[in-house]
Amino acid sequence: MHPMLNIAIRAVRKAGDHVIKSLEKPQTIEVANKGTDVVTNIDHEAEAIIIDTIRKSYPDHCIVGAETGNYDGKDKECQWIIDPVDGTKNFVRGYPHFAISVALRMRGRTEVAAVYDPSRNELFTATRGSGAQLNSQRIRASQPRDLTGTTLATGLPYAAKQHAESYMKIQSALFVECDDMRQSGSTALDLCYLAAGRVDGVFKLGQKPWEIAAGELIARESGAICADFTGNTNYMSTGNLVAGNARVVKPLLSKIREHGSDALKK
């Protein structure tokens, strides 16, 4: 196993244990608004646990945290991207669908990823070039021939409401062709569920890098394709993502081009 993956796994498990135990005392969870999202004291505490775990082994690495921002280390080639609770709105309501997400990028490429769902004790991991795993068992994305019979994971663009009208048009066009849709509230788990064959495609817009970084590597290592809305691979910067096998991604992109606004097609 990649030594840095070991650290990522240690970090997400420690943080996950803290997050899940906090639900035993919901009165200690403090919720605050964060733009169009919410944040809790547990998010901050979990992120501190992850950062401490990383720094003990790699004190010179750079870190991008969803809550604490950027830490510029001496080693500019290594950057950890952290989301301590992906799905905080679910977490604060006791809805058991959220995850801790950690990825390491080296020289601009994601090398290792770990996404931990503490509610189900499911650990999704990947190392670039070595496949994706769920609880140490190899997983593969589904291979549908087209959108017929597929289940797509998506999410209302609450962080990009200026695109709401375009999103609704695209979603309606896709719904006619697919079998079903899921809006779970966790992009990291959407991508991991794609990797495990639980859904067949993912369609998201307005995402942050820490919501995408770990899950997209796990999805790609399971055999899925990840692209932005133009068909390129700039989803980390645009925040717009489609994923699935080639026969799913192609019609997804086609519907986006047909029904999306000019702003979404850039």
Mean pLDDT by 10 residues, the chain (266 residues): 92 98 93 87 97 96 93 93 97 96 96 98 97 98 96 89 88 94 96 98 95 98 96 94 96 91 70
Of the three residues 113, 139, 165, the one that is the final residue of a domain is 139
Q: First-to-last CA distance in the chain?
A: 39
Tell me if 11 is assigned to some domain.
yes
| Overall domain count for the chain | 2
Angle of helix 187-195 relative to helix 209-221, nearest 10 degrees? 0
The answer to whether 83 is annotated as binding is yes
Is 117 in the same domain as 17? yes
Is 158 in the same domain as 249? yes
Sheet containing 99-106: give its strands across: 69-71, 61-65, 75-86, 99-106, 109-117, 122-127, 132-134, 137-139
The answer to whether 86 is annotated as binding is yes
Is 67 in the same domain as 167? no
Tell me if 145 is assigned to some domain.
no
Which residues form the domain of 176?
Answer: 151-259
Residue type, 73: G
